[in-house]
Chain A
């Protein structure tokens, strides 16, 4: 039995680089940084005072009425906004006939942390009877797909996958699997996150995970580079509209790319550190290639997890060498986090959007701030800027706390 084919027919982005896909992509190619001093709260006295915030976000500009917006955490506002843009980009008309066949499957790492903080403060100050009935529906992660389904009448599978910084790639893999199994014909998928908040920043600071290069925000995120000193928190959403090839063809949809395979794995090693030789990461990449039925020789671009932490970048480089051998040195590898910061649960979403744009546009984005090579990270990280290369296969990597790994292989679409 031949496997169904699953294609990407819509993209949307809400990122530190822009409030939509074209701004985010153009600023990515222009080598701009979305990192700046934190404005969402007063970060005075915090070790890290910089982040990749979505600038000037107003839910009303994305068709979310103020009354509804007030009852959504920022991450849910991002979700609905990104889904509105996604369905418009896909040109997908939701009808009575197709509504039950369209899912919303999103990756979210932390969810409503901002709401928890706000209401915990209110609880301490005003007492237990002053908690809003909207607190729980604001903070639960699955309110993101829930609100999208309510706004757009999408009645298929509606689920959140939570696997830390690999959440979005696992969600895309889940959407891919649901379509392969015929459980739905299409899905809004990807990831969303918004935790630039006092507890979000202080929690990751306590883990020594964040860069404190506060005086040079645009230079703080430097994946694979010698002087990297931790990641910079980002926020936003990256979504893909994925559907069966039959569904896409039946409606004459524009096809950006095909999903060739999905794979995941666990390190079974440590709560926050990757397994030191990168075996878990390598197994996720190999599982993805096996799922796609291809060998490592077909991969001609890698959109790396590349967080700008010492351990991730070193270990990911080792894992890439394990999988690709001598070819590892020739494959262009890019780290979008150098410009967006780390969108946590949404990272694999925004990076998938950029991976698919890379296939569609024939341009591989560069990695900024790659000033001094790290002898231990000796691959081609695209430090000299974007290049007009049209890859055939892009491997997109995400790895998360708990030792969870996920990869998706995107392929240039051909009939």
Chain B
């Protein structure tokens, strides 16, 4: 599975949304219905999946699906 696919799957699982809704331009809050608790858990799930640490300042910049994918591609090891 590519990074995109893995991130997409995490988003689907955490936010309970369908694959076709998880478009690169989709906003977690406005389009996918996430609240602040959902976002915290989403970040934790990505940290676990990719063995990374995302600090709060960075996490606040991840507003859209494409932001999350880009962050993981730049920061995930291996």
Which A residues are within 8 Å of any B CB, using their own CB?
65-68, 70, 126, 130, 132-134, 137
Residue of A67, A68, A130, A137 ringed by the most chain B CB atoms within 10 A? A67
Q: How many angstroms from the CA of A66 to the CA of B16 in the assembled complex?
A: 7
Contact A134 B44 (CB under 8 A): no
Contact B16 A133 (CB under 8 A): no
> Closest CB of chain B to A78's CB: distance in Å?
20
Q: How many angstroms from the CA of A66 to the CA of B13 in the assembled complex?
A: 9
0/1 string, B7-46, CB within 8 A of A gives 1:
0000000011000000000000000000001001100100
Contact B15 A67 (CB under 8 A): yes
> What would be 12 A-B contacts, judged by CB atoms less than 8 Å apart?
A67-B15, A67-B16, A70-B16, A126-B48, A130-B44, A130-B48, A132-B40, A132-B41, A132-B44, A133-B37, A134-B41, A137-B37
Which 7 A-B pairs have CB atoms at the shortest separation, nearest pair first?
Answer: A67-B16, A133-B37, A133-B40, A132-B41, A66-B16, A133-B41, A134-B37
Contact B41 A65 (CB under 8 A): no
Q: Is chain A's interface secondary structure helix, strand, loop, or mixed overall? A: helix
Q: Which residue of A lies closest to B12 (CB)?
A: A67
Q: How many angstroms from the CA of A229 to the CA of B40 in the assembled complex?
A: 48
Which B residues are within 8 Å of any A CB, using their own CB?
15-16, 37, 40-41, 44, 48
Q: How many angstroms from the CA of A372 to the CA of B41 in the assembled complex?
A: 56
Q: How many angstroms from the CA of A412 to the CA of B15 in the assembled complex?
A: 48
Q: How many angstroms from the CA of A68 to the CA of B14 in the assembled complex?
A: 10
Q: Is chain B's interface secondary structure helix, strand, loop, or mixed overall? A: helix
Q: How many angstroms from the CA of A130 to the CA of B48 in the assembled complex?
A: 9
Q: Which residue of A lies closest to B16 (CB)?
A: A67
Q: How many angstroms from the CA of A70 to the CA of B38 in the assembled complex?
A: 12
Q: Which residue of B lies closest to A130 (CB)?
A: B44
Contact A65 B16 (CB under 8 A): yes
Q: How many angstroms from the CA of A66 to the CA of B44 in the assembled complex?
A: 19
Residues of A within 8 Å of B44, CB to CB, are: 130, 132
Q: How many angstroms from the CA of A130 to the CA of B15 in the assembled complex?
A: 18
Q: How many angstroms from the CA of A132 to the CA of B40 in the assembled complex?
A: 8
> Closest CB of chain B to A66's CB: distance in Å?
6
Q: Which residue of B lies closest to A137 (CB)?
A: B37
Q: How many angstroms from the CA of A137 to the CA of B37 in the assembled complex?
A: 10
Residue of A70, A133, A137 ringed by the most chain B CB atoms within 10 A? A133
> Closest CB of chain A to B9's CB: distance in Å?
14
Residues of B within 8 Å of A68, CB to CB, are: 16
Q: Which residue of B lies closest to A132 (CB)?
A: B41
Q: How many angstroms from the CA of A137 to the CA of B48 in the assembled complex?
A: 22
Q: A133-B37, A133-B41 are in contact. List 16 more A-B contacts (CB 8 A).
A: A65-B16, A66-B16, A67-B15, A67-B16, A68-B16, A70-B16, A126-B48, A130-B44, A130-B48, A132-B40, A132-B41, A132-B44, A133-B40, A134-B37, A134-B41, A137-B37
Residues of A within 8 Å of B16, CB to CB, are: 65-68, 70
Residues of B within 8 Å of A65, CB to CB, are: 16
Q: How many angstroms from the CA of A55 to the CA of B11 in the assembled complex?
A: 30
> Closest CB of chain B to A255's CB: distance in Å?
40
Residues of A within 8 Å of B48, CB to CB, are: 126, 130
Q: How many angstroms from the CA of A66 to the CA of B15 in the assembled complex?
A: 10
Residues of B within 8 Å of A134, CB to CB, are: 37, 41
Q: How many angstroms from the CA of A67 to the CA of B11 in the assembled complex?
A: 11
